[in-house]
Amino acid sequence: MIRPVQASDAAAFADIYNHYIDETIVTFEYDRVDASVFEARIRNVTDGGFPWLSFVDPETDQVVGFAYAGKWRERVAYRFVVESAIYLRDGWGGQGIGKRLYLELFQQLRERKFRSVIAGISLPNEASIATHRSMGFRKVGVFEKVGFKFDRWIDVEFWQLEL
Cα-Cα-Cα-Cα torsion 125, 91, 21, 28, nearest 10 degrees, comes to 20
101-138 residue pLDDT tens? 999 999 999 999 999 999 999 999 999 999 999 999 99
Once rounded to an integer, what is the mean pLDDT over residues 30-46?
A: 98
Cα-Cα-Cα-Cα torsion 129, 68, 112, 8, nearest 10 degrees, comes to 160
| CA–CA separation, 145 and 135 (whole Å) | 26
Helices and strands counted in the chain (H then E): 4, 7
Give the max Cα distance, the chain.
44
Q: What is the pTM of this model?
A: 0.94
Mean pLDDT of the chain: 97
61-87 residue pLDDT tens? 999 999 999 999 999 999 999 999 999
Q: Does the pLDDT at position 150 exceed 90?
A: yes
What local confidence, expressed as pLDDT, does residue 94 receive? 85
What local confidence, expressed as pLDDT, does residue 102 receive? 98
Once rounded to an integer, what is the mean pLDDT over residues 35-53?
A: 97
At 121 the three-state DSSP class reads strand
Binning pLDDT at 50, 70 and 90, where does residue 10 land? very high
Q: Which residues pair with 81 in a beta bridge?
A: 116
Domain ranges of the chain: 2-162
Please report, rounded to a whole number, the percentage of residues in the chain having pLDDT higher than 70: 100
* Fold adopted by 2-162: Aminopeptidase (3.40.630)
